[in-house]
Amino acid sequence: MNANTGATLSQASAQQMAWKTENVAPLWTVLKGLVPAEPRPQAIAYAWRWRKMRELLLHAGETISAAEAERRVLMLNNPGLDGKPHITDTLYAGLQLILPGEIARAHRHTQAALRFVLEGSGAYTAVNGVRADMHRGDYIVTPPWTWHHHGHDGSEPVMWLDGLDLPIVNFLRAGFREEYESEEFPHSCQANKLWDKYSGTLLPINTEPTSLCSPVFSYPYERSREALERLKKHDECDPHLGVNVRYAHPLTGGWTMPTIAASMRLIPAGWGTRLYRSVEGTVLTVLEGCPTVEIEGQGSFELEPNDVLAVPGWTSWRVQGGVGRDAVFFAFSDRPVFEKLGLYREARA
């Protein structure tokens, strides 16, 4: 007999069986877990080291062709997520290799993708036939449901970081995919033509945005780097973020894609940010210098160029620039999703 309710043990187990049979369950045993006091990401902070990743990618280049693989990618699976192909709780990332002469055939899907070029040149991505030549540090946008393929006219392996909103789109059961009828979508123009047309503060008159995604598909590294240097000169260094520029949709001022935010940061040599956290998970990769990222409760990561670091949501982190040289890194997250749903939150120490 239960002293509080007067129910006998057999009554309790009969009740549990009835719940199970009728597909119901008591909320009161799980309420606090369902509605936690604050987010508890399952992903952990983790760094994928370029030295090793490069070796594994080049080896994959010897064992499978881009034609066979469709995309020759090593996915970056967060060790906290039980083998799920997610780099944070809500984002996907992978490292892709294309070799001279190869084509990664044209397809399209409703998941949005970004490319961030890490090594080599001579390769390109074509988005609806707009061709973006790839150079280290370029940020390339592949909007949802646009035909895209990759090719390589050069002479050295080209490798880049892919970022996709795949976990979110799949969670929403909104994923669609289609193969194009041939390997390549017909060429329309070079991406730098769109850059010339839409970048900057002087825009062609009467140009309304026609897409939630930026009409500029490729943001060349030298432009992002110049912007960082200009802001640094004007002391635009945020105590929590350092010198930070975001890639913007030139016609709306918003992010370049509806689900993914991308930005580039410079942390001056010998300087460090204060602790910062926000609800979205973040993925970063180093372009220049050797920053150290301290993640509260999860240790310190001394990063080298092209290392990729996953920072889970609602986890405090700070970045220390290296010795004698400014550190520059690229970062992406799914912040726009949180913003649109009224869920964005950050905390600054």
Q: How remote is the C-alpha of 128 from its chain's centroid?
A: 21
How many Cβ atoms from other residues are within 10 Å of residue 66's Cβ?
21
Nearer to ligand 1HN, 96 or 285 (CB): 96
Q: Name the residue with tokens 């973006």.
A: 132
Nearer to ligand 1HN, 70 or 346 (CB): 70
Q: Helix count (H) and strand count (E) of the chain?
A: 8, 23
Whether the Cβ atoms of residue 108 and residue 115 lie closer than 8 Å to each other:
no
DSSP H/E element including 329: strand 327-333
Nearer to ligand 1HN, 73 or 337 (CB): 73
State the minimum distance, in angstroms, from the CB of residue 58 to ligand 1HN.
18
For residue 2, give the nearest of 17, 12, 15 by alpha carbon.
12
State the minimum distance, in angstroms, from the CB of residue 75 to ligand 1HN.
7
State the minimum distance, in angstroms, from the CB of residue 164 to ligand 1HN.
5
For residue 59, give the nearest of 102, 8, 95, 6 by alpha carbon.
95
State the minimum distance, in angstroms, from the CB of residue 126 to ligand 1HN.
11
Nearer to ligand 1HN, 185 or 276 (CB): 185
Reading the block at residue 134, the tokens are 């790839």
State the minimum distance, in angstroms, from the CB of residue 42 to ligand 1HN.
20
Q: Name the residue with tokens 């850059």.
A: 195
State the minimum distance, in angstroms, from the CB of residue 257 to ligand 1HN.
14
Could you please report the per-residue DSSP string of 167-192? HHHHHTT---EEE-SSSSPPP-EEHH
Nearer to ligand 1HN, 127 or 303 (CB): 127
Whether the Cβ atoms of residue 98 and residue 150 lie closer than 8 Å to each other:
yes
Nearer to ligand 1HN, 148 or 265 (CB): 148
Tell me the C-alpha distance between 284 and 330, whole Å. 5
**Residues of this chain that bind ligand 1HN (CB under 6 A):** 71, 73, 94, 96, 109, 111, 113, 148, 162, 164, 166
Nearer to ligand 1HN, 106 or 327 (CB): 106
State the minimum distance, in angstroms, from the CB of residue 290 to ligand 1HN.
28
Over its C-alpha atoms, the chain yields an Rg (Å, rounded) of: 23
State the minimum distance, in angstroms, from the CB of residue 169 to ligand 1HN.
10
- Cα-based distances in Å from 2 to 6, 16, 20, 30, 113: 5, 15, 21, 21, 57
Nearer to ligand 1HN, 61 or 94 (CB): 94
State the minimum distance, in angstroms, from the CB of residue 84 to ligand 1HN.
13
Nearer to ligand 1HN, 111 or 306 (CB): 111
Tell me the C-alpha distance between 165 and 110, whole Å. 9
First to last CA, the chain: 52
Reading the block at residue 174, the tokens are 């909104």
